Amino acid sequence: MLRCSPVTVEPLMSLLPRKGLLAIAAVIDVALHARGQPVAAKALASRHRLPPRHLEPVLQALVRQGVLKGVRGPPRRL
């Protein structure tokens, strides 16, 4: 498990807005957890200890920009 020390995170906080950091974290999380399946926004929010409604606008913006692909409905096993 990798962890960032608070010393290295603080300079990033001043350079990037919080939503920008959240967007980067969301993309990395999806890349790590997708395994060929859609990642539920609720699960992603839970891993980052955020309410889903706080994360949804960030995910919607990433979908609109073509960074992520949105899939409606509950996650299904293929």
**Model confidence pLDDT, tens digit, residues 29-72:** 999 998 888 899 999 999 989 898 989 999 999 999 999 999 88
Do residues 54 and 15 lie in contact, with contact meaning Cβ atoms separated by under 8 Å?
no
How many residues are given for the chain? 78
pLDDT category at 12 given cuts 50, 70, 90 is low
Q: What is the pLDDT of residues 20-32, one digit of tens each?
A: 999 999 999 999 9
CB proximity list for 60: less than 8 A, separation 6 or greater: 70
Do residues 76 and 36 lie in contact, with contact meaning Cβ atoms separated by under 8 Å?
no
Higher pLDDT, 62 or 14: 62
Give the residue ranges of DSSP H helices in the chain: 6-15, 18-33, 41-47, 52-64
